[in-house]
Amino acid sequence: EVLQCSNASSENEMEEEDAYIKMARGFAALGLIIGFPVLCWLGLSNCMVLSHDSFKKIAILLMFVSCCQAMVFVYVRSSWCQGVLFPGIPGSLDDCQLGDGSRILLAACSSWFAASLATAHLNRLSVVENELKLRSDYFSMLS
């Protein structure tokens, strides 16, 4: 059985959202608001040459988006999860598993992180490519 957070402590009673739920929603929104334009900016690299600084900024922003997506897990500290998630489980939480949404969130965090590393690596490759072009131009001028 998969244990998941529920926002209802009983059938008829809804609990108020606490700060952890609000923070989780804020981090999710922040990650998406920053992530989509950054991916569009990165898509411009197919149409035009981006500078070394642009690639560096994109990689840093993608890493920030990865951190924002990871911070969504603060919802586990909320009163919804603390009061409803583990009723009747004394002491150990060995039987707990992540729900489908949490697995998708882990995949999203990993994807944003991998995109950040790949962008930083592409940045290094573009620098090496530019140096090789300069050297070949220099040697062709000497010949």
The structure's pTM equals 0.67
**Cβ-proximal residues to 60 (8 Å cutoff; 6+ apart), any chain:** 116
Q: What is the pLDDT of residue 5?
A: 57
Confidence of residue 111 (pLDDT cuts 50, 70, 90): very high
Alpha carbon distance 5, 84 (integer Å): 7
pLDDT digits over 62-103, tens only? 999 999 998 888 877 776 666 555 555 554 444 455 678 888
Nearest Cα neighbor of 27 from 97, 76, 80 is 76
In this prediction, residues 42-50 reach a mean pLDDT of: 79
Alpha carbon distance 28, 71 (integer Å): 8
Alpha carbon distance 50, 83 (integer Å): 50
